[in-house]
Amino acid sequence: MSAAAGVTVRVPAKVNVQLAVGAARPDGFHDLANVFLAVGLYDEVTATPADGLRITCEGPDSDQVPLDRTNLAARAAALLAARHGLEPAVHLHIAKRIPVAGGMAGGSADGAGALLACDALWGLGTPREELLAICAELGSDVPFSLVGEAALGTGRGELLTPVAAGRFHWVFAVAEGGLSTPAVFREFDRLTAGQDVPAPEASPALLAALASGDPDALAGELSNGLQAAALSLRPELAATLAAGTEAGALAALVSGSGPTTAFLVRDEESALKVAAALEASGTCRTTRTAPSPAPGATVLPA
Ligand code: ATP
Protein backbone atom coordinates (compact mmCIF):
# COMPACT_ATOMS: atom_id res chain seq x y z
CA MET A 1 0.00 0.00 0.00
CA SER A 2 1.52 3.39 -0.93
CA ALA A 3 1.80 6.21 1.60
CA ALA A 4 -0.67 8.25 -0.47
CA ALA A 5 -3.26 5.45 -0.29
CA GLY A 6 -3.19 4.76 3.42
CA VAL A 7 -1.49 4.90 6.80
CA THR A 8 -1.09 1.86 9.06
CA VAL A 9 -0.49 2.19 12.80
CA ARG A 10 0.54 -0.68 15.07
CA VAL A 11 -0.68 -0.52 18.69
CA PRO A 12 0.17 -2.80 21.64
CA ALA A 13 -2.02 -4.54 24.21
CA LYS A 14 -1.37 -3.94 27.92
CA VAL A 15 -1.23 -5.86 31.15
CA ASN A 16 -1.56 -4.16 34.53
CA VAL A 17 1.29 -5.23 36.80
CA GLN A 18 -0.34 -3.32 39.64
CA LEU A 19 -3.96 -2.24 39.72
CA ALA A 20 -4.87 -0.60 43.03
CA VAL A 21 -8.52 0.45 43.14
CA GLY A 22 -9.94 3.12 45.44
CA ALA A 23 -13.54 3.58 46.55
CA ALA A 24 -16.11 4.75 43.98
CA ARG A 25 -16.01 8.54 43.49
CA PRO A 26 -19.18 10.66 43.39
CA ASP A 27 -18.94 10.60 39.54
CA GLY A 28 -18.99 6.77 39.62
CA PHE A 29 -15.37 6.40 38.50
CA HIS A 30 -12.74 4.91 40.82
CA ASP A 31 -9.40 6.47 41.63
CA LEU A 32 -6.69 4.07 40.52
CA ALA A 33 -2.98 3.51 40.87
CA ASN A 34 -2.50 1.59 37.72
CA VAL A 35 0.91 0.40 36.54
CA PHE A 36 0.49 -0.28 32.83
CA LEU A 37 2.93 -2.42 30.89
CA ALA A 38 2.65 -2.64 27.10
CA VAL A 39 3.17 -6.14 25.70
CA GLY A 40 4.22 -7.23 22.22
CA LEU A 41 0.78 -8.28 21.06
CA TYR A 42 -0.61 -5.83 18.52
CA ASP A 43 -3.64 -4.60 16.58
CA GLU A 44 -3.03 -2.71 13.34
CA VAL A 45 -5.30 0.11 12.20
CA THR A 46 -5.12 1.23 8.56
CA ALA A 47 -6.73 4.52 7.53
CA THR A 48 -7.51 5.15 3.85
CA PRO A 49 -9.51 7.97 2.26
CA ALA A 50 -13.22 7.15 1.72
CA ASP A 51 -16.52 8.91 1.03
CA GLY A 52 -17.67 8.52 4.64
CA LEU A 53 -16.68 6.85 7.91
CA ARG A 54 -16.45 3.07 7.46
CA ILE A 55 -15.03 0.41 9.81
CA THR A 56 -13.96 -3.11 8.84
CA CYS A 57 -12.24 -5.69 11.00
CA GLU A 58 -10.39 -8.96 10.42
CA GLY A 59 -9.05 -11.52 12.90
CA PRO A 60 -10.22 -14.49 14.96
CA ASP A 61 -12.55 -12.42 17.23
CA SER A 62 -13.63 -9.87 14.63
CA ASP A 63 -17.30 -10.91 14.84
CA GLN A 64 -17.38 -9.45 18.40
CA VAL A 65 -16.16 -6.02 17.31
CA PRO A 66 -18.85 -3.36 16.67
CA LEU A 67 -18.54 -1.85 13.18
CA ASP A 68 -20.70 1.21 13.84
CA ARG A 69 -19.93 4.61 15.37
CA THR A 70 -19.56 3.04 18.84
CA ASN A 71 -16.25 1.47 17.77
CA LEU A 72 -13.50 3.38 19.58
CA ALA A 73 -11.59 3.76 16.29
CA ALA A 74 -14.65 5.44 14.72
CA ARG A 75 -15.09 7.69 17.77
CA ALA A 76 -11.41 8.70 17.59
CA ALA A 77 -11.67 9.62 13.90
CA ALA A 78 -14.90 11.58 14.49
CA LEU A 79 -13.42 13.51 17.45
CA LEU A 80 -10.24 14.43 15.58
CA ALA A 81 -12.17 15.48 12.47
CA ALA A 82 -14.62 17.61 14.51
CA ARG A 83 -11.74 19.47 16.20
CA HIS A 84 -10.44 20.47 12.78
CA GLY A 85 -13.80 21.19 11.15
CA LEU A 86 -13.37 18.18 8.81
CA GLU A 87 -15.67 15.36 7.78
CA PRO A 88 -14.38 11.98 9.03
CA ALA A 89 -14.21 10.63 5.48
CA VAL A 90 -12.06 7.61 6.18
CA HIS A 91 -12.09 3.83 5.95
CA LEU A 92 -10.53 2.32 9.10
CA HIS A 93 -9.51 -1.31 8.78
CA ILE A 94 -8.62 -3.09 12.03
CA ALA A 95 -6.41 -6.20 11.94
CA LYS A 96 -7.38 -7.54 15.38
CA ARG A 97 -4.95 -9.73 17.33
CA ILE A 98 -5.70 -8.42 20.87
CA PRO A 99 -8.46 -10.45 22.60
CA VAL A 100 -11.81 -8.59 22.56
CA ALA A 101 -13.29 -7.52 25.94
CA GLY A 102 -10.36 -9.34 27.54
CA GLY A 103 -8.93 -6.73 29.91
CA MET A 104 -6.01 -6.02 27.56
CA ALA A 105 -7.27 -2.65 26.27
CA GLY A 106 -7.91 -3.85 22.71
CA GLY A 107 -10.59 -1.26 22.00
CA SER A 108 -8.40 1.45 23.52
CA ALA A 109 -5.53 0.34 21.26
CA ASP A 110 -7.75 0.77 18.19
CA GLY A 111 -8.85 4.22 19.41
CA ALA A 112 -5.25 5.39 19.80
CA GLY A 113 -4.28 3.73 16.51
CA ALA A 114 -7.10 5.36 14.56
CA LEU A 115 -6.25 8.77 16.05
CA LEU A 116 -2.62 8.57 14.97
CA ALA A 117 -3.48 7.08 11.56
CA CYS A 118 -6.05 9.80 10.77
CA ASP A 119 -3.73 12.53 12.02
CA ALA A 120 -1.07 11.31 9.58
CA LEU A 121 -3.53 10.66 6.70
CA TRP A 122 -5.05 14.13 7.01
CA GLY A 123 -1.63 15.77 7.51
CA LEU A 124 -2.77 17.53 10.68
CA GLY A 125 0.41 17.28 12.77
CA THR A 126 -1.63 17.51 15.98
CA PRO A 127 0.71 18.17 18.96
CA ARG A 128 1.30 15.17 21.24
CA GLU A 129 -0.38 16.88 24.23
CA GLU A 130 -3.55 17.43 22.21
CA LEU A 131 -3.54 13.82 20.98
CA LEU A 132 -3.25 12.68 24.61
CA ALA A 133 -6.17 14.91 25.62
CA ILE A 134 -8.34 13.38 22.87
CA CYS A 135 -7.28 9.91 24.04
CA ALA A 136 -8.35 10.72 27.63
CA GLU A 137 -11.73 11.87 26.28
CA LEU A 138 -12.11 8.51 24.49
CA GLY A 139 -11.40 6.39 27.57
CA SER A 140 -9.23 5.90 30.65
CA ASP A 141 -6.87 3.37 29.02
CA VAL A 142 -6.51 5.10 25.63
CA PRO A 143 -3.65 7.52 26.54
CA PHE A 144 -1.51 4.57 27.57
CA SER A 145 -2.12 2.82 24.25
CA LEU A 146 -0.63 5.90 22.56
CA VAL A 147 2.51 6.08 24.73
CA GLY A 148 3.16 2.36 25.42
CA GLU A 149 6.28 1.06 27.25
CA ALA A 150 5.47 1.29 31.01
CA ALA A 151 3.68 3.99 32.95
CA LEU A 152 1.90 4.75 36.19
CA GLY A 153 -1.67 5.89 35.57
CA THR A 154 -3.41 7.90 38.29
CA GLY A 155 -6.78 9.66 38.42
CA ARG A 156 -9.08 7.17 36.66
CA GLY A 157 -5.91 5.83 35.00
CA GLU A 158 -5.50 8.51 32.34
CA LEU A 159 -2.84 10.71 34.03
CA LEU A 160 0.40 9.03 32.98
CA THR A 161 3.94 9.13 34.35
CA PRO A 162 6.49 6.95 32.52
CA VAL A 163 8.26 4.36 34.68
CA ALA A 164 11.29 2.15 33.98
CA ALA A 165 10.78 -1.46 32.94
CA GLY A 166 13.26 -4.23 32.20
CA ARG A 167 12.44 -7.02 29.76
CA PHE A 168 9.95 -9.74 30.79
CA HIS A 169 8.11 -12.62 29.12
CA TRP A 170 4.39 -13.33 29.38
CA VAL A 171 1.77 -15.88 28.47
CA PHE A 172 -1.87 -14.83 28.16
CA ALA A 173 -4.74 -17.28 28.41
CA VAL A 174 -7.77 -16.08 26.48
CA ALA A 175 -11.08 -17.12 28.09
CA GLU A 176 -14.37 -17.99 26.41
CA GLY A 177 -16.42 -14.78 26.13
CA GLY A 178 -15.58 -11.35 27.52
CA LEU A 179 -16.20 -9.47 30.76
CA SER A 180 -17.61 -5.96 30.85
CA THR A 181 -15.23 -3.60 32.65
CA PRO A 182 -18.11 -1.58 34.25
CA ALA A 183 -19.65 -4.86 35.49
CA VAL A 184 -16.36 -5.82 37.16
CA PHE A 185 -16.15 -2.41 38.88
CA ARG A 186 -19.77 -2.83 40.06
CA GLU A 187 -18.84 -6.23 41.50
CA PHE A 188 -15.82 -4.59 43.20
CA ASP A 189 -18.22 -2.06 44.79
CA ARG A 190 -20.54 -4.86 45.91
CA LEU A 191 -17.69 -6.90 47.42
CA THR A 192 -16.19 -3.92 49.25
CA ALA A 193 -19.49 -2.34 50.42
CA GLY A 194 -19.20 -1.19 54.02
CA GLN A 195 -15.41 -1.63 54.02
CA ASP A 196 -12.83 1.10 54.35
CA VAL A 197 -11.17 1.04 50.90
CA PRO A 198 -7.72 2.70 51.20
CA ALA A 199 -6.63 5.38 48.71
CA PRO A 200 -4.75 3.64 45.89
CA GLU A 201 -1.00 4.09 45.80
CA ALA A 202 1.72 2.76 43.52
CA SER A 203 3.90 0.19 45.28
CA PRO A 204 7.59 1.24 45.46
CA ALA A 205 8.59 -2.45 45.66
CA LEU A 206 6.64 -3.22 42.47
CA LEU A 207 8.20 -0.28 40.61
CA ALA A 208 11.71 -1.36 41.71
CA ALA A 209 11.06 -4.95 40.60
CA LEU A 210 9.69 -3.75 37.26
CA ALA A 211 12.78 -1.63 36.66
CA SER A 212 15.14 -4.45 37.67
CA GLY A 213 14.17 -6.87 34.88
CA ASP A 214 14.34 -9.69 37.48
CA PRO A 215 11.30 -11.95 36.92
CA ASP A 216 11.53 -13.54 40.39
CA ALA A 217 11.38 -10.08 42.00
CA LEU A 218 8.45 -8.99 39.82
CA ALA A 219 6.57 -12.26 40.45
CA GLY A 220 6.35 -11.44 44.16
CA GLU A 221 4.96 -7.93 43.59
CA LEU A 222 2.22 -8.34 40.95
CA SER A 223 -1.23 -7.37 42.20
CA ASN A 224 -4.68 -6.70 40.81
CA GLY A 225 -7.36 -5.16 43.02
CA LEU A 226 -10.03 -6.21 40.50
CA GLN A 227 -9.05 -9.88 40.61
CA ALA A 228 -11.49 -10.87 43.39
CA ALA A 229 -14.34 -9.18 41.50
CA ALA A 230 -13.40 -10.85 38.19
CA LEU A 231 -13.15 -14.25 39.92
CA SER A 232 -16.47 -13.68 41.66
CA LEU A 233 -18.11 -13.16 38.24
CA ARG A 234 -16.09 -15.91 36.52
CA PRO A 235 -15.09 -18.50 39.21
CA GLU A 236 -13.73 -20.87 36.55
CA LEU A 237 -10.77 -18.51 36.01
CA ALA A 238 -9.26 -19.91 39.23
CA ALA A 239 -8.60 -23.20 37.38
CA THR A 240 -6.81 -21.32 34.58
CA LEU A 241 -4.61 -19.48 37.09
CA ALA A 242 -3.78 -22.78 38.80
CA ALA A 243 -3.01 -24.56 35.51
CA GLY A 244 -0.45 -21.90 34.52
CA THR A 245 1.24 -21.93 37.92
CA GLU A 246 1.42 -25.73 37.90
CA ALA A 247 3.01 -25.56 34.45
CA GLY A 248 5.86 -23.41 35.80
CA ALA A 249 4.69 -19.79 35.57
CA LEU A 250 6.40 -17.61 38.20
CA ALA A 251 3.15 -15.75 38.88
CA ALA A 252 -0.41 -15.67 37.60
CA LEU A 253 -3.02 -12.92 37.72
CA VAL A 254 -6.15 -11.69 36.02
CA SER A 255 -5.26 -9.09 33.36
CA GLY A 256 -7.01 -5.82 34.24
CA SER A 257 -10.75 -6.48 34.49
CA GLY A 258 -10.33 -9.91 32.86
CA PRO A 259 -11.24 -12.48 31.80
CA THR A 260 -7.82 -12.86 30.13
CA THR A 261 -5.31 -14.24 32.62
CA ALA A 262 -1.61 -13.28 32.54
CA PHE A 263 1.35 -15.47 33.45
CA LEU A 264 4.83 -14.12 34.12
CA VAL A 265 7.46 -16.63 32.95
CA ARG A 266 11.25 -16.76 33.13
CA ASP A 267 12.07 -16.74 29.41
CA GLU A 268 10.76 -17.43 25.92
CA GLU A 269 11.28 -21.18 26.23
CA SER A 270 9.26 -21.30 29.44
CA ALA A 271 6.56 -19.18 27.72
CA LEU A 272 6.08 -21.83 25.03
CA LYS A 273 5.94 -24.62 27.65
CA VAL A 274 3.40 -22.81 29.85
CA ALA A 275 1.28 -21.86 26.81
CA ALA A 276 1.18 -25.49 25.62
CA ALA A 277 0.22 -26.72 29.11
CA LEU A 278 -2.54 -24.11 29.39
CA GLU A 279 -3.97 -25.11 26.02
CA ALA A 280 -3.83 -28.80 26.98
CA SER A 281 -5.53 -28.07 30.34
CA GLY A 282 -8.81 -27.18 28.65
CA THR A 283 -9.19 -24.18 31.01
CA CYS A 284 -8.93 -21.51 28.30
CA ARG A 285 -9.89 -20.92 24.67
CA THR A 286 -6.41 -20.10 23.36
CA THR A 287 -3.11 -18.55 24.42
CA ARG A 288 -0.72 -15.85 23.26
CA THR A 289 2.91 -15.29 24.24
CA ALA A 290 4.51 -11.84 24.25
CA PRO A 291 7.52 -9.96 25.63
CA SER A 292 7.34 -6.61 27.42
CA PRO A 293 7.75 -3.69 27.28
CA ALA A 294 6.51 -2.72 23.81
CA PRO A 295 6.42 0.66 22.04
CA GLY A 296 3.19 2.66 21.93
CA ALA A 297 1.17 3.43 18.79
CA THR A 298 3.60 3.61 15.86
CA VAL A 299 3.05 4.56 12.21
CA LEU A 300 4.45 1.71 10.12
CA PRO A 301 6.61 2.50 7.08
CA ALA A 302 4.53 2.44 3.87
P1 ATP B 1 -9.98 -2.60 29.01
O2 ATP B 1 -8.83 -3.51 29.27
O3 ATP B 1 -9.56 -1.23 28.53
O4 ATP B 1 -10.99 -2.56 30.08
P5 ATP B 1 -11.01 -4.66 27.34
O6 ATP B 1 -9.76 -5.18 26.70
O7 ATP B 1 -11.58 -5.42 28.47
O8 ATP B 1 -10.77 -3.16 27.73
P9 ATP B 1 -12.09 -4.16 24.75
O10 ATP B 1 -11.50 -5.22 23.86
O11 ATP B 1 -11.52 -2.80 24.65
O12 ATP B 1 -12.12 -4.62 26.26
O13 ATP B 1 -13.66 -4.15 24.41
C14 ATP B 1 -14.65 -3.75 25.31
C15 ATP B 1 -15.94 -3.50 24.52
O16 ATP B 1 -15.75 -2.33 23.73
C17 ATP B 1 -16.28 -4.60 23.51
O18 ATP B 1 -17.14 -5.53 24.05
C19 ATP B 1 -16.89 -3.86 22.34
O20 ATP B 1 -18.29 -3.88 22.39
C21 ATP B 1 -16.46 -2.41 22.49
N22 ATP B 1 -15.53 -1.92 21.44
C23 ATP B 1 -15.58 -0.72 20.88
N24 ATP B 1 -14.60 -0.56 19.99
C25 ATP B 1 -13.90 -1.68 19.96
C26 ATP B 1 -12.76 -2.11 19.23
N27 ATP B 1 -12.15 -1.34 18.33
N28 ATP B 1 -12.27 -3.34 19.50
C29 ATP B 1 -12.87 -4.11 20.42
N30 ATP B 1 -13.97 -3.78 21.12
C31 ATP B 1 -14.47 -2.56 20.91
Residues 61-79 have pLDDT tens digits of 899 999 999 999 999 999 9
The Å distance, Cα 106 to ligand 1 centre, comes to 6
- Angstrom CA distances, 122 to 49, 77, 135, 261, 285, stand at 9, 11, 18, 38, 40
Please write the tens of the pLDDT for every residue from 136-171. Answer: 999 999 999 999 999 999 988 888 999 999 999 999
pLDDT for position 4: 53
Ligand 1 pocket member 76 (CB < 6 A) = no
**Does position 100 have pLDDT exceeding 50, yes or no?**
yes
Residue burial 132-155, b: 16+ Cβ < 10 Å; e: rest: bebbbebbbbbbbbbbbbbbbbbe
**Quick check: helix, strand or coil at residue 224?**
strand
Interatomic CA distance for residues 49 and 62, integer angstroms: 22
71 CB within 6 A, ligand 1: yes
- Is 46:7 a contact under the CB 8 Å cutoff? yes
Question: Is 141 annotated as catalytic?
Answer: yes
Q: Which of 124, 13, 138, 120 is nearest to 73 (CA)?
A: 138
Entry pTM:
0.94
Assess whether 14 carries a catalytic annotation: yes
Nearest CA to ligand 1 atom 28: 107
CA nearest to 105, candidates 171, 154, 55, 34? 34
Average pLDDT, the chain: 95
259-291 pLDDT, tens digit per residue, is 999 999 999 999 999 999 999 999 999 999 999
How far, in Å, is the centroid of ligand 1 from the Cα of 191?
24
Closest alpha carbon to 37 in 105, 119, 132, 112: 105
From the list 151, 149, 67, 49, the residue with the least C-alpha distance to 110 is 67
Q: Report the helix count and the strand count for the chain, using DSSP H and E.
A: 10, 12
Tell me, using a 6 A CB cutoff, whether residue 57 lines ligand 1: no
Nearest CA to ligand 1 atom 11: 107
Name which residue sits closest to atom 29 of ligand 1, judged by CA: 107
Q: Which of 43, 61, 119, 141 is catalytic?
A: 141
Q: For ligand 1, say whether the CB of 72 is within 6 Å of any of its atoms.
A: yes
Active-site option among 14, 31, 43, 96 = 14
pLDDT at 230 exceeding the cut of 50: yes
